[in-house]
Amino acid sequence: MKPLKPVVSLMLAAASVALSLPAAAQFAKPEDAIRYRQSAMTLMQNHFGRVAAMAAGRVPFDAKVAADNAALAETLSKLPWSAFVEGTDKGATKAKPEIWSQEARFKEAAEKMQGEMGRLAQAARGGNLDAIKSAVGPTAASCKACHDAFWK
Ligand code: ASC
């Protein structure tokens, strides 16, 4: 294998540190954690939305665009959770206190959504619009269920 450029090795090292750090140490300030999870949700909504628009027939179906966007949405669906750290229930957030008082329920809803995003990504990799259509509904429902319960 060709040796990696120093900058690339550095980025990989930084990424592996970020993923293995305890959640609280990932963020210098509570606002940073809030911004991080909001950014991840915004990006996820955008990439999921592009696939949902094709499933709804609002934009022409393009199998590669659907697969790429569903894969991004699946990856993004893993990111918000480490940012729900202590002390981030107030400030510029619509997160409900139930996230922390009913942690198991929140975790279950978050994992349900990640599972549905995974199934959507799998359907999109297969390139079949009907399979994508079948997966979009349950995925959107899992977004909504969590927002209804845990979002102001
Ligand atoms: C989205 C989004 C959600 C869900 C939900 C579906 O695109 O951001 O939270 O779909 O609105 O009902």
Is 60 among the domain residues? yes
Is 20 among the domain residues? no
Residue that has been written with the tokens 């729900």 in this structure: 84
Residue 62, token pair as written in the block: 């393009």
In 3D, which of 55, 135, 63, 146 has the Cα closest to residue 102? 146
> What whole-number distance in Å separates Cα of residue 62 and Cα of residue 65?
5
Is 100 among the domain residues? yes
Would the CB of 143 count as within 6 Å of ligand 1?
A: yes
Do residues 71 and 128 lie in contact, with contact meaning Cβ atoms separated by under 8 Å? no
Would the CB of 140 count as within 6 Å of ligand 1?
A: yes
Candidate of 45, 114, 148 to mutate for ligand 1, largest count of ligand atoms within 8 Å of Cβ = 45
| Structural domain of 61 | 29-80+96-150
Q: Is 70 exceeded by the pLDDT of residue 109? A: yes
Residue that has been written with the tokens 């995003």 in this structure: 117
Q: What are phi and psi of 76, to 5 degrees?
A: -65, -30
Is 113 among the domain residues? yes
Is 35 among the domain residues? yes
Residue type, 10: L
Q: Is 90 exceeded by the pLDDT of residue 23? A: no
Query: How far, in Å, from the CA of 2 to the mean position of ligand 1?
Result: 43
Q: What is the pLDDT of residue 65?
A: 98
Would the CB of 99 count as within 6 Å of ligand 1?
A: no
150 to each of 62, 89, 102, 104, 114, how far by Cα in Å?
Answer: 34, 11, 10, 12, 16
Would the CB of 144 count as within 6 Å of ligand 1?
A: yes
Is 23 among the domain residues? no
What predicted TM-score, i.e. pTM, was given to this entire model?
0.86
Once rounded to an integer, what is the mean pLDDT over residues 95-116? 98
Is 131 among the domain residues? yes
- pLDDT tens across 63-87, in order? 999 999 999 999 999 999 999 999 9
Which residue's CA is minimally distant from atom 2 of ligand 1? 45
Number of domains in the chain: 1
Is 15 among the domain residues? no
Q: What is the CATH number of the domain that holds 52?
A: 1.20.120.10
